[in-house]
Amino acid sequence: MQTDKYFELNVNKRKQTFLFQHSYSYISIKKIVISSLFGNKPDEWFSKLMQSNPYLKIKCTKSSGETLEYPVVISSLVSPFHAQPVFEFQNNFVVPEQNMLNKSSFFLHYNNASIELCFNGKEDTEFKITLFYQLTPGANVEQEDL
Protein backbone atom coordinates (compact mmCIF):
# COMPACT_ATOMS: atom_id res chain seq x y z
CA MET A 1 0.00 0.00 0.00
CA GLN A 2 1.17 3.51 -0.78
CA THR A 3 1.06 5.72 2.31
CA ASP A 4 1.13 9.38 3.26
CA LYS A 5 -1.19 10.68 0.57
CA TYR A 6 -3.87 13.32 1.04
CA PHE A 7 -6.25 15.55 -0.87
CA GLU A 8 -8.23 18.64 0.08
CA LEU A 9 -11.82 19.45 -0.72
CA ASN A 10 -13.43 22.89 -0.52
CA VAL A 11 -15.93 25.00 -2.46
CA ASN A 12 -13.40 25.54 -5.28
CA LYS A 13 -12.25 21.90 -5.50
CA ARG A 14 -15.22 19.73 -4.63
CA LYS A 15 -14.38 16.30 -6.01
CA GLN A 16 -11.60 13.73 -6.24
CA THR A 17 -11.85 10.61 -8.39
CA PHE A 18 -9.96 7.32 -8.08
CA LEU A 19 -9.55 4.56 -10.66
CA PHE A 20 -9.27 0.85 -9.80
CA GLN A 21 -7.52 -1.49 -12.24
CA HIS A 22 -8.06 -4.68 -10.25
CA SER A 23 -11.02 -6.26 -8.51
CA TYR A 24 -9.12 -5.98 -5.20
CA SER A 25 -8.05 -2.31 -5.60
CA TYR A 26 -9.40 0.35 -3.23
CA ILE A 27 -8.48 3.40 -1.18
CA SER A 28 -8.28 3.35 2.59
CA ILE A 29 -9.08 6.64 4.36
CA LYS A 30 -7.15 6.94 7.61
CA LYS A 31 -8.01 10.44 8.79
CA ILE A 32 -10.26 13.43 8.10
CA VAL A 33 -9.29 16.96 9.20
CA ILE A 34 -11.75 19.86 9.11
CA SER A 35 -10.10 23.28 8.99
CA SER A 36 -11.74 26.68 9.16
CA LEU A 37 -10.22 29.51 7.17
CA PHE A 38 -11.56 32.19 9.54
CA GLY A 39 -10.25 31.12 12.95
CA ASN A 40 -10.62 28.38 15.49
CA LYS A 41 -13.14 29.61 18.06
CA PRO A 42 -15.14 26.41 18.58
CA ASP A 43 -18.55 28.06 18.99
CA GLU A 44 -18.07 30.27 15.91
CA TRP A 45 -16.87 27.61 13.48
CA PHE A 46 -19.28 24.96 14.79
CA SER A 47 -22.21 27.31 14.16
CA LYS A 48 -21.02 27.97 10.59
CA LEU A 49 -20.43 24.26 10.04
CA MET A 50 -23.99 23.44 11.14
CA GLN A 51 -25.42 26.15 8.87
CA SER A 52 -23.68 24.72 5.82
CA ASN A 53 -24.07 21.07 6.92
CA PRO A 54 -21.40 19.61 4.62
CA TYR A 55 -21.19 15.93 3.74
CA LEU A 56 -19.07 13.71 1.53
CA LYS A 57 -20.89 11.95 -1.29
CA ILE A 58 -19.18 8.66 -2.13
CA LYS A 59 -20.05 7.28 -5.57
CA CYS A 60 -18.61 4.00 -6.90
CA THR A 61 -19.22 2.81 -10.48
CA LYS A 62 -18.76 -0.53 -12.25
CA SER A 63 -18.00 -0.85 -15.96
CA SER A 64 -21.59 -2.14 -16.39
CA GLY A 65 -22.84 1.27 -15.24
CA GLU A 66 -24.08 -0.03 -11.87
CA THR A 67 -23.46 2.54 -9.14
CA LEU A 68 -23.28 2.57 -5.37
CA GLU A 69 -23.76 5.95 -3.72
CA TYR A 70 -23.83 6.94 -0.05
CA PRO A 71 -23.15 9.99 2.16
CA VAL A 72 -20.68 10.50 4.99
CA VAL A 73 -22.27 13.23 7.12
CA ILE A 74 -19.49 15.41 8.52
CA SER A 75 -21.65 17.04 11.19
CA SER A 76 -22.14 13.59 12.74
CA LEU A 77 -18.38 13.48 13.44
CA VAL A 78 -18.05 16.82 15.25
CA SER A 79 -19.09 18.44 18.50
CA PRO A 80 -19.12 22.12 19.54
CA PHE A 81 -16.04 21.46 21.68
CA HIS A 82 -13.69 20.67 18.78
CA ALA A 83 -11.53 23.45 17.33
CA GLN A 84 -10.22 22.06 14.03
CA PRO A 85 -11.30 18.50 14.55
CA VAL A 86 -9.15 15.57 13.47
CA PHE A 87 -10.85 12.20 13.02
CA GLU A 88 -8.58 9.18 12.87
CA PHE A 89 -10.31 5.92 12.11
CA GLN A 90 -9.21 2.85 14.09
CA ASN A 91 -10.36 0.68 11.21
CA ASN A 92 -9.69 2.64 8.05
CA PHE A 93 -12.70 3.76 6.03
CA VAL A 94 -12.49 1.78 2.75
CA VAL A 95 -13.84 2.92 -0.64
CA PRO A 96 -15.23 0.78 -2.24
CA GLU A 97 -15.49 -1.80 0.51
CA GLN A 98 -16.80 -4.44 -1.93
CA ASN A 99 -13.45 -4.40 -3.79
CA MET A 100 -11.56 -4.96 -0.52
CA LEU A 101 -13.74 -7.98 0.27
CA ASN A 102 -13.32 -9.44 -3.21
CA LYS A 103 -11.01 -12.42 -3.63
CA SER A 104 -11.97 -13.38 -7.18
CA SER A 105 -10.70 -11.88 -10.44
CA PHE A 106 -14.04 -12.85 -12.05
CA PHE A 107 -15.92 -10.32 -9.90
CA LEU A 108 -17.21 -7.31 -11.84
CA HIS A 109 -15.56 -4.78 -9.56
CA TYR A 110 -16.07 -1.07 -9.04
CA ASN A 111 -13.55 0.49 -11.41
CA ASN A 112 -13.85 4.06 -10.13
CA ALA A 113 -14.98 6.03 -7.12
CA SER A 114 -15.45 9.72 -6.48
CA ILE A 115 -15.54 11.59 -3.19
CA GLU A 116 -17.40 14.87 -3.50
CA LEU A 117 -17.98 17.67 -1.00
CA CYS A 118 -21.67 18.62 -0.92
CA PHE A 119 -23.81 20.88 1.28
CA ASN A 120 -27.30 20.41 2.72
CA GLY A 121 -27.36 24.06 3.77
CA LYS A 122 -25.64 27.25 2.69
CA GLU A 123 -22.46 26.64 0.70
CA ASP A 124 -19.54 27.77 2.81
CA THR A 125 -16.24 28.94 1.38
CA GLU A 126 -14.60 29.05 4.79
CA PHE A 127 -14.00 25.34 5.35
CA LYS A 128 -11.41 22.95 4.01
CA ILE A 129 -11.67 19.20 4.46
CA THR A 130 -8.49 17.15 4.17
CA LEU A 131 -8.59 13.37 3.74
CA PHE A 132 -5.48 11.26 4.38
CA TYR A 133 -5.47 7.91 2.62
CA GLN A 134 -3.57 4.90 1.28
CA LEU A 135 -3.82 3.32 -2.17
CA THR A 136 -3.69 -0.43 -2.79
CA PRO A 137 -1.95 -1.81 -5.91
CA GLY A 138 -3.94 -0.93 -9.02
CA ALA A 139 -5.62 2.11 -7.43
CA ASN A 140 -4.74 5.49 -8.92
CA VAL A 141 -5.79 9.10 -8.52
CA GLU A 142 -7.54 10.47 -11.59
CA GLN A 143 -6.60 13.97 -12.76
CA GLU A 144 -7.64 16.66 -10.32
CA ASP A 145 -11.37 17.30 -10.57
CA LEU A 146 -12.96 20.69 -9.98
Bridge partners of 27, per DSSP, are 95, 135
- Over residues 78-103, mean pLDDT: 74
pLDDT at 90 over 60: yes
146 pLDDT band, cuts 50/70/90, is: very low
Residue % of the chain over a pLDDT of 70: 82
Instruction: Quote the pTM value.
Output: 0.85
Out of 3.30.930.10, 3.30.70.360, 2.30.110.10, 2.60.120.340, select the CATH number for domain 2-141.
2.60.120.340
Contact status, residue 116 vs residue 13, Cβ threshold 8 Å: no
User: Where in the chain are the domains?
Assistant: 2-141
Contact status, residue 23 vs residue 99, Cβ threshold 8 Å: yes
Lowest mean pLDDT across 29-33, 114-118, 119-123, 127-131: 119-123
pLDDT at 15 over 50: yes
Question: What value does the mean pLDDT of the chain take?
Answer: 82
pLDDT of residue 112: 93
Return the sign of the alpha-carbon dihedral for residues 35, 26, 94, 92: negative
